[in-house]
Structure formats: structure tokens, C-alpha cells
Structure 1
Amino acid sequence: MKRSIIRFLCAAMFIAGCTKDAEMPVSPALSYLMVYNGSPDFYGAGSMAFVNNALYGTRSYNENGAGLVGAFNFSRYSFIDTGLYRMAFTDSATIPANATKITETLLQFENEKHYTVYLLDSLGFFDILYTQDDVAPDPVKAKIRLLHLSPDAGKVYLRIDTVLIGGIREVGFRNVSGYTAVSADIKPGIRIMYKDEAGEEKTLVRKSFPLEAGKCYTMILRGYKTPADGNINKTINLSTITNF
């Protein structure tokens, strides 16, 4: 009889444990967010990014939260609950009470998706752009895309060395191409191209940085061909963020 009672108690504890495991709460729905300042007006200054009127962080020109973005830099995503959010940027990085919003919009973030929000401008007319980022690697190729944030550059396309990348063509201001898989290379010649009024092909920007298999890259064309204030730090350039 005693053994029967012990067996019964053990079985009851096992069932209770299984029920407890089955009732454990599911993981919360989360998105991944990165914020990049692509506005040359903030060279040497900062803009505060707000999410639902709460300070998310401060970004100077060409910063994504992981410092200045050079020829290539790593991503800096943070967790955020899914849903609809009000995103805004300010005219300065002073205390919020003294800062004024320069642009604001509503953005939707979905579960397990990666997003980058960009501040951009054209001679003081500010706007917000956001992209969903690819973090699904190709094991034998690199994935690249081009985001165009240069107001006076016109439509551009991309060559790697002499090879025309068919998926990155006719990309205009405020637009982003899709990701294109390309061969991995240690030191490729990445050239942003355009055609002049005579239809002659010209190189706008040339950079070189490693393209690794299994990586996803966003190349950002930024700055002005001819800055209105003549500041050479605002001239056209190419930065790259490694999304994954």
C-alpha cells in the first residue's frame, strides 16, 4: 500500500510538472531596430531620435549607433515591441525641452523582422525612410543593396569592377534597391555610376571593401555632389552597414 501511494504521488508530480511546462508563457513578439542619420545638415551636430515621444538615442551625420559608418561598419540593432510607432527626429541634441521636431511619421514593426530608420534631407527639407533588412545569409554569396540618400546625384547604378550588377539599376533619391547576391571578393572595386547629359558613363564614387560570403550589406550613397555651403565634409560618399 505504501509503495502504491509513493507511485501515485510521483505520477501526480510528473503530470503537474508537464502541465506547468505546457503553460509557460510564449516569448514576446519583438522586432529589431537600428537608426541611421543620413542628413549632411547634422555634420558636427546631433539629432535626437524619438520613439512614441521617448528618447531612443542621439545620432550625428553618418552614425548608426555603433559610431561613424565608414567604408563598412557593423549593424547596431536593439529590441523593440512589435506594433505601430511614431518616429521623430529633432533639430538638435540639446535637452528635449529645447529641441524641435523636424520630421515625424508612423511606422509599423512586425515580429522577428529587422528594420533601419533613416533621417534624410534635401537642403533642409527633412524626411524619414525605413527599410526592412535582410539577415538571411547566402552561404556562398554576399548580398548587397544600395540606398540612395544623395539629393543632387540623380539616378545611379552599380558596377563591381567592370561587371554591371543588374539588380541595382536606376536607383533614385529616397529609394533603395533589393538585395542582390554577388560573388565574394577580398578587394572588389565598387563603383557607383551615372550617365551625364551626353549619355556618357561616369563614376560618381569608388570604394573597396571585402564582400564576404554569408554576409548582407547595405551601401548608403550620401551627401551632395555640390554642397550648398561648400563644406567638403558634406560631399558625396559611400558608407556600408553589414546587416548580418
Structure 2
Amino acid sequence: MYISAIYHKPGKRRLITSCVMAGILCITGGACKKLQPANDIPPDAAVNLFNASQVIQATGPFDQKKIYVDGYDTTGSQYVYFNYQSGRPLEYPVETLAPGTVPGIPYMRLQAGSHEFTFTNAAKFKAGDISSDFPAGTLHQLYLADGIPASDSLATYNVLRVEEDRRQPAGKVRVRFVHLSPDAGNFKMYRMDANNNRLFSGLPAEITYGAASPYAELDTAGAINQRLVLHYFQGADTLSSLLSTSVPAEPGTSYVIVINGFKGKHAIKNPTGRSQSGTVEYETINFEATLAGYVRRSY
């Protein structure tokens, strides 16, 4: 099996040397297999790994938050980890951005087929895992998210897989919503135009936790300062905006808006290790309301 980094940016596809990445991303359960000759490499898939978990972001060194591929062996080393060089440790592969740039979605190449990804916290406790099929020629995003807070306040997690859709209708801006806020409930939304009109047409009727919407295809007419401004509300109260995000009003582009964080306050227990007797030890992390939207450019 092989894995390498591949960057899918608008109009560009750049392969980062397979040898370097294969050394970094050794698959557990045995020694890394030799890279196949170029003419023998089968069609591949690609995956981006995104950390939307407030608990994982708040705890431990970023380079200890490992992601294991097709095996879970905490004695191993040199596995991929969340390391965002120009800001928070959010994703893998990494992308260094110029100030004010909307982050793109870089991908690492993955041999087509079935794979398992296991995410751990900084103390090597399993946070979440997912097994899925990755067909040749497809792009996927894996999101690690906080789970709905348990009654005993123990940290829980979910992993969501989203397959990318690169179809781009002319003259439109496409926006997809990924809802990863565990305590926020369902959201509805509207777009505010330059005349303060609330526009609901073309947007999802509602988005729910742990799901990604299809892409909405939006016109750019009525953009505010060359941006499409989106507001999120609940129930029938369109006057109370719980959150707002915006994307550039540039036809032919696509964006993913990740809604994450907590709507309310929480005290969550995170495992940090074991005592000499083997008892799991915890730290309690206090979170204020951290609900936010993170914009990613997908095409």
C-alpha cells in the first residue's frame, strides 16, 4: 500500500514526493511496503483529515494527536498528526497560507479500496475511528468531531466521511454545510443581500449534527461587499442570528462551511494516562460557548 500527499487546488494538482510521505506515513501491522513502479501504481483515491474537535484542539501537544491508518499500534512512531503550520492544528496534509487567504482543502493520495482511520488524543487514547471504502478517482474529507456531551461529562467523538463533488455549474457559487456542533441542535439559514432582504431560496431547509448537506448553488446578485453573507437560526425565529459566515461572491468557486464548537458551556473529562494501578486518569476542561463557522475552499 502507498500513501502520498497530493494537493488539489483550483486549477492545480501537485504531487509531493511519494518517498518522503511514505516514510512518514508507515502503515501499522508490518514494515512499509516498497513503492511500486510508476507504471504499476493502480488508480488512487485521496483524503483530507480535519480536526473539528474542541477537546482534541485544547489538549496536549499537537504532534501527539496521531492518526493511524489500517492499524492501531501506539508503540509505533512517525504517524500523521494534526499540524497546522500557520495557525491552529486543524488538518492533514498541512497548507501554509498567506494572510487573508481562504484555506483550501489539500489531500493525501490513498490507494483505492477499504481503509480504517483511527484518531487518538495526545495520551494515545482512541478518540474515534471509521472504516470505509475509497473508490479510485474519488476525493474524501474525514472530520473528527466532538460527540454529544455524555451525562458523566466524558469526552466522546464522532468521525464523519464526506465525499467531494467537483461538479461546478457556470455562474454559481457552491456552498456545502458540515454541521459538527454537538449541542447546538438543528440549524436553518438564509442569505442576507445588499438591500437587507433575507433570501432562503437554494439553501438547505435544515442541517443536522453529524451530517453534510449537498452543495447549494447560489447566485452572486445582491452580494455584500463582494461576499455572500449567510446567517443561521433555529425554529421560526429568523430575526435571531446565532451565527453568521460569508464566502467570496466569485462565480465558479466552491466552499465548505464547517460549523463546530459548543453552543453552551461544558466541563468535559479528557483521559490523560493511567496510574500505576492501571486506573485511567482524567483532566477536566471547561469550555465556554465556542460555536463558530470555519470556511474552506473546495474548488
Indicate whether the TM-score tops 0.5: yes
- Which AA in structure 1 matches 2:228? P
Q: Which residue of 1 aligns with 2:9?
A: none
Q: The residue matched to 1:74 in structure 2 has which SS?
A: coil
TM-score by length of 2: 0.64
Match of 1:53 in 2: 71
Q: Is the 8 A contact 2:181 2:260 kept in 1?
A: yes
Residue identity over aligned pairs, in percent, reads 18
* Residue 214 of structure 1, aligned match among 239, 252, 273: 252
Deviation at 1:218, TM superposition (A): 0.9
Compared with structure 1, are the counterparts of its residues 62 and 68 closer, same or farther at alpha carbon in structure 2 (3 Å cutoff)?
farther
* Matched residue SS, 1:28: coil
1:79 to partner: Cα distance? 0.9
2:116 pairs with 73, 79, 86, which one? 86
Match of 1:4 in 2: none
Residue 124 of structure 2 is matched in structure 1 by 99
Q: 2:145 maps to which residue?
A: 120
1:187 Cα deviation from its structure 2 partner: 1.9
| Aligned mate of 2:44, from 30, 33, 45 | 30
Number of the residue aligned with 1:238: 293
Rg comparison, structure with higher value: 1
User: 2: distance between equivalents of 1:82 and 1:139?
Assistant: 31
Match in the other structure for 1:64:
91
Return the match for 2:237 from 186, 190, 200.
200
1:170 corresponds, among 198, 206, 218, to 206
When the two structures are aligned, how many residues end up with a matched partner? 212
Cα pair 1:34 1:78 within 8 Å, conserved: yes
Q: Who is 1:95 aligned against? A: none
Q: 1:191 to 1:71 in 2, by over 3 A?
A: farther
Give the 5 Å matches for 1:122-137. 122=147, 123=149, 124-137=155-168
Structure 1 138/240 Cα, relative in aligned 2: closer, same or farther at 3 Å? Answer: same
Letter in 1 for 2:209: F
Question: Partners of 2:252 and 2:113 in 1: how far apart?
Answer: 30
CA RMSD of aligned residues (A): 2.6
Contact map agreement 1:52 1:87 (CA 8 A) in 2: yes
**Alpha-carbon distance between aligned partners in 1 of 2:82 and 2:172, rounded to the nearest angstrom:** 34
**After superposition, what is the alpha-carbon deviation per residue over 1:142-165, rounded to whole angstroms, capped at 9, x for unaligned?**
111111001111111221111114
Deviations 1:25-58 (A, max 9, x none): 4762111110001111023344322211382332
Give secondary structure in 1 for the equivalent of 2:186: coil
Q: Please state how far the C-alpha of 1:231 moved relative to its aligned partner.
A: 3.2
- Going from structure 1 to structure 2, the CA distance change for 1:208 and 1:182 (only over 3 Å counts) comes to same
TM-score by length of 1: 0.77
Are the aligned partners of 2:189 and 2:206 in contact in 1 as well (CA < 8 Å)?
no
CA distance in 2, matches of 1:243, 1:112: 16
Alpha-carbon distance in structure 2 between the residues aligned to 1:40 and 1:131: 20
In the TM superposition, residue 71 of structure 1 has moved relative to its aligned partner by: 9.2
- Judged with a 3 Å threshold, the aligned counterparts in structure 2 of structure 1 residues 160 and 239 are, in CA distance, closer, same or farther, namely same
Give the AA of the match of 1:181: E
Q: Is the 8 A contact 2:168 2:174 kept in 1?
A: yes
CA contact under 8 A between 2:104 and 2:297: conserved in structure 1?
A: yes
Q: As a proportion of its length, which structure holds more helix?
A: 1
Aligned residue in 2 for 1:109: 134
Is 2:82–2:91's contact at 8 Å kept on the other side of the alignment? no
Tell which has more relative contact order, 1 or 2 (C-alpha 8 A, sep 6+).
Answer: 1
Alignment partners' CA distance in 1, 2:241 and 2:102 = 20
Structure 1 residues 215 and 57: alpha-carbon distance in aligned structure 2, compared to 1, 3 A threshold: same
